[in-house]
Structure 1
Amino acid sequence: MRPALVLLHGWGTSSLIWQEWLPNLDQHFNVVQVDLPGYGATTVDRYVDTDSVITELMAELPDKAIFLGYSLGGMIATTIASRFPERVTALITLASNLQFVADKQWPYAMDKKIFDDFYSLVANNTAMAKKRFSALQAHGSEQEKTLVKNLRAKKESITEQTLENSLEFLSTINNTALIDSITVPAIYLFGENDQLVPITAANALKEKLGDTVHIIPGACHALFLDKPEYCWNIIKHWLDAHSERLSEHRALDKQQVARSFSRAATTYDSVADLQRRIGNRLTDFLPAIAAQVVVDLGCGTGYFARPLQTAYPDGQIIGLDLAEGMVNHAAKHQSGCQWLCGDAENLPLADNSVDIIFSSLAIQWCEDNTALFAEVFRVLKPAGRFVFATLGPNTLHELRSAWEEVDNFVHVNRFVERDIIDQAISDAGFSAACLAVEENIVLEYDTLKQLTKELKALGAHNVNSGRQTGLTGKQRIRGLIAAYDQQRNAQGVLPATYQTWYGVLEKPVQGQTIQQQGLG
C-alpha cells in the first residue's frame, strides 16, 4: 500500500497551492492536505505559539507519514521532524528557511525592517499585501507573469486577522538549533532566484548539510510551480533511493481508527441501528457446531457477546478490538467474556486455537487485507469458520459524489474493492463453506447534519489518509448541502447507501482440496 504524505502549505496560500502536483502525488501516495489555522477549509484561527499549533496538527495527522512542506509549511514540518521523529518517515522542504527574519545567529534571512514594513502593509492594506506577496513568490521566474496569475487564482478568502497572526507566527519559528537533530531522511530544495529566502541561506545550509540541499537553477520562491518537473525528478529520485524504508509504513491511519472509535465508545450504541441490523443478520450465518472458543473480532461495545453466548453456551467468548476505549466499555457492561485489545492483522492468539471468528463491520478498517486473512487462517482450528460482514467501496457513494462537487479532498471513507478481498482470501488458503451475499442498505435522512452527526457518534467519520485536517469552511459546507440536496428521492429525503457483504469461510482440514471462491 502507498505511504501517507502530509502536505503543508506556506503563508498567504492554502492547500489549493498543491493542485497541479496532486495528480502526480496521488499515483505514489495517500495524500493528506492540511490547511493551517484560518486558511482554506479551517474556520478557527489559533496561533498561540509553535507548540500549540503543532500539537493540534499532530492530533489529526497520520501516525506515520512523509512530510512535504512549502515555505512556512516546510518550517513547521522541520520542527515536527525534530520533535516527533517516530511519526515522520521522511522530510521534504521547498523554499523553507531555518528562520524567516534575520538576526546575528542566522543572518541568511529577510531583513527585519523589510519584514516589519510588510507586516504593516498586511495590517493596513490586506489586498495590496496579497498582490505583493504573489509577485514576490514568482519574482525571478522566467515565466513570472504567468506564475503570478496562477498564484492569485489559488487564493481563497483569508481574513486580515489570519494573515497577521500567521505572519507573526512565521517570524517566531527558529529551527537553527533543531536542524542538527533531524534523524529522519531529509531533502531541502531552494530556488536560485528566490526573493523571500535568499540564496545565501541555501548556500549556508548546503555547506552544513551537503547533498541533501538542492538549489534549482533559475527558480523563484514558488519553485515547485515554477520548475515542477525539475523539482519532482529530484524528489522522486531521492524517494526511490529511500524506498525500502518508506515502504515499511502503511497508508491507512490505523491509530486514527483506534482513537476515533475509542472516543465514540459511550455514544456508539445510541446510534448503531444499522450495525445491529447487519450484525443480527450475520448471526444467521453462524454454524451449528460445538465451539469451544469463539472470538468477536472488532467487538466494539460488546453488543454481540450475548447472542454468541446464546449460540455457544459451552464456549469461551473472547471480544477483541483495536480501540482500547471500546474494550474498556465492553468489559464494564458485559459479563462472562474475556476482553482483549489487539490488532486483527497481528492477533494475540495462538495458532489453531479458535473454532469460530465472528466479525461484523470491522475488517473494512484493516489496512492490509492479506495480513488480516492470513492471521484469521492461522488462529482458526482446521474446519474453523470465519463469519464476517464488511462494507464495500460503494458505501456512502451519495455523500462522496456530493463532496466531489466541492473539492478534491478525501471526505468519505474509502473501502477496498471486492477483488482485493477475494485475492487475500485465496492467498490465505481458505475454502468457502458458504458464501456470501451482497446487500445494499439505503438509509434515509431529512438533513445532511443528521447523517454526519450519526457518523461522528459511531466513530465512523473520515479516518482515511488523504482526508483534510481542520474545520471545514462555511462556504464548502453550503456547497456540500446544495450538492447532496440534488440527490433527494421522491419522498424528499436524503439517501445514504451501505454496500454490505456477508461471508463465511472455512479453514480446510489437512489434505482437503481447496475450492477457491470469492465474495460473489
Structure 2
Amino acid sequence: MKLAAESLGAGPDLVMLHGWGMNSSVWADFAARLADDYRVTRIDLPGHGNSPFDGRQELTAWARACLDAAPDRAVWIGWSFGSMLCLQCALLAPSRIEGVVALAGMPRFIQAMDWQYAMSPTTLDQFIKALHKDHVQTLERFLALQMLRSDHAVQMLKRLKSLLRERPDPLPEALRSGLELLKSVDLREQLTKLSCPTTWIYGNRDTLAPAKASDDLRQWLPGASMHIVEGAAHTPFLSHPEETHQLILRSLESMHG
C-alpha cells in the first residue's frame, strides 16, 4: 500500500509518524518549527488520513509501508503508537534510521507483571469493544483521554480537533487493527538490537504512557536519552511545544554528530 506523505523545509531528513486514530495533520504546527532546520516528511499511517489500508495487520507490514514512503535515511520521530512503528522500522532497516525520537512512546503499551507503567489491559479491551459499537464516539473519548490532567487541555483539544478535520477520518478496520497491535506487540527485548541512538520524551501527567516507564527502559537501553516535560500529558508537542522543540533539537544535533 502506498501511504500518503508530505514534505516541508530543507536540510537533513526527519520523518514524523503520528499516533493511533490521528493523522499527520496533528504535526502541522510542530513540523513547521522543525522545518526551519530540517526537511520534514509527515506520513499518514495505514488507513489514517489520506492513506489507504490493505487489511494487513502485522506491525512489520505497517512499518514496511512507512519505510516505502520515507526518505532513504533520516531521524524518525514517533508519537505514541507512531513511536512503536519507528522502533520497528529501525529494527527492520537499521541502515535507513539515523535515530529515533519517541514522544510518549512505549515498546509495549499494556501492563504486564514486569511492566507496570502502562495502560491496563481492561482499559484497552473497553476501547476495542466500544470501537465496534461506535468508532466516532470512541475516538472522541480517546482525544479527551490524551489531554487528561495536561496544562492547557481545553485549548489543546480544540486545536487538535481542528487539525484532524483537515484530513479524512480513519477507516474503522484500520482503527481495529491498530488497537490489536497496541494490545499484542511487545518490542522490549528487541530494543537491545537497536543500532541507532534513541531519545524518549514523556509528560509527567501522562496516563497512557506514564513517564515512570523511562526507568524500566534503561535495562534495555542504558545509553538512551530520557526527558520528562512537567505539566504535559500524552501530547507534549502540543501542550509544551517550545520545551519539546528544544529537547528534540538537542537530540537531533547529537544524532547527526
Task: Calculate the TM-score normalised by the size of structure 2.
Answer: 0.88
What is the one-letter code of the residue matched to 2:236?
A: L
1:177 aligns with 2:189: yes
Asked whether the equivalents of residues 198 and 224 of structure 2 are also in contact (C-alpha less than 8 Å), the reply is: no
Q: Distance in 2 between matches of 1:176 and 1:107?
A: 13
Q: Which residue, out of 221, 227, 237, partners 2:240?
A: 227
Partner of 1:87: 96
1:74 aligns with 2:87: no
Q: Distance in 1 between matches of 2:227 and 2:56?
A: 31
- Give per-residue Cα distances to partners, 1:351-388, cap 9 Å, x unaligned: xxxxxxxxxxxxxxxxxxxxxxxxxxxxxxxxxxxxxx
**Offset of residue 105 of structure 1:** 4.0
Q: Which residue, out of 130, 138, 149, partners 1:121?
A: 130
1:196 aligns with 2:208: yes
Partner of 2:7: none
What is the one-letter code of the residue matched to 2:253?
A: D
Partner of 1:39: 48
Asked whether the equivalents of residues 119 and 207 of structure 2 are also in contact (C-alpha less than 8 Å), the reply is: no
Greater relative CO, 1 or 2 (CA 8 Å, sep 6+):
2
Asked whether the equivalents of residues 73 and 98 of structure 2 are also in contact (C-alpha less than 8 Å), the reply is: yes
Q: Distance in 1 between matches of 2:85 and 2:185?
A: 8
Asked whether the equivalents of residues 69 and 75 of structure 1 are also in contact (C-alpha less than 8 Å), the reply is: yes
What is the one-letter code of the residue matched to 2:98?
A: T
Q: CA RMSD in A?
A: 1.8
Q: Distance in 1 between matches of 2:212 and 2:32?
A: 33
1:48 aligns with 2:57: yes
What is the one-letter code of the residue matched to 2:188?
A: T
Q: Distance in 2 between matches of 1:48 and 1:165?
A: 6
Asked whether the equivalents of residues 206 and 213 of structure 1 are also in contact (C-alpha less than 8 Å), the reply is: no
Partner of 2:229: 216
Q: Distance in 2 between matches of 1:123 and 1:235?
A: 37
**Offset of residue 127 of structure 1:** 2.2
Asked whether the equivalents of residues 106 and 176 of structure 1 are also in contact (C-alpha less than 8 Å), the reply is: no
**Offset of residue 210 of structure 1:** 5.7
Asked whether the equivalents of residues 206 and 212 of structure 1 are also in contact (C-alpha less than 8 Å), the reply is: no
1:40 partner SS: coil
Q: 1:162/1:211 Cα in 2 relative to 1: closer, same or farther (>3 Å)?
A: closer
- Percentage of matched positions with identical amino acids: 28
Q: 1:58/1:241 Cα in 2 relative to 1: closer, same or farther (>3 Å)?
A: closer
Summarize the alignment of residues 327-342 of structure 1 with structure 2, pairs less than 5 Å apart.
none
Asked whether the equivalents of residues 94 and 223 of structure 1 are also in contact (C-alpha less than 8 Å), the reply is: yes
- Give per-residue Cα distances to partners, 1:384-441, cap 9 Å, x unaligned: xxxxxxxxxxxxxxxxxxxxxxxxxxxxxxxxxxxxxxxxxxxxxxxxxxxxxxxxxx
Structure 2 segments unaligned to the other structure (5+ residues): 1-9
Q: 1:199/1:86 Cα in 2 relative to 1: closer, same or farther (>3 Å)?
A: same
What is the one-letter code of the residue matched to 2:40?
A: V
Structure 1 segments unaligned to the other structure (5+ residues): 245-520
Q: Distance in 2 between matches of 1:240 and 1:125?
A: 44
Asked whether the equivalents of residues 37 and 47 of structure 1 are also in contact (C-alpha less than 8 Å), the reply is: no
Summarize the alignment of residues 295-444 of structure 1 with structure 2, pairs less than 5 Å apart.
none
2:231 partner SS: coil
1:189 partner SS: strand
Summarize the alignment of residues 473-512 of structure 1 with structure 2, pairs less than 5 Å apart.
none
Q: 1:206/1:213 Cα in 2 relative to 1: closer, same or farther (>3 Å)?
A: farther
Q: Distance in 1 between matches of 2:144 and 2:54?
A: 25
Task: Calculate the TM-score normalised by the size of structure 1.
Answer: 0.45
**Offset of residue 77 of structure 1:** 0.3
Q: Distance in 2 between matches of 1:142 and 1:54?
A: 32
Q: 1:11/1:174 Cα in 2 relative to 1: closer, same or farther (>3 Å)?
A: same
**Offset of residue 45 of structure 1:** 4.2
Q: Which residue, out of 45, 70, 80, partners 1:61?
A: 70
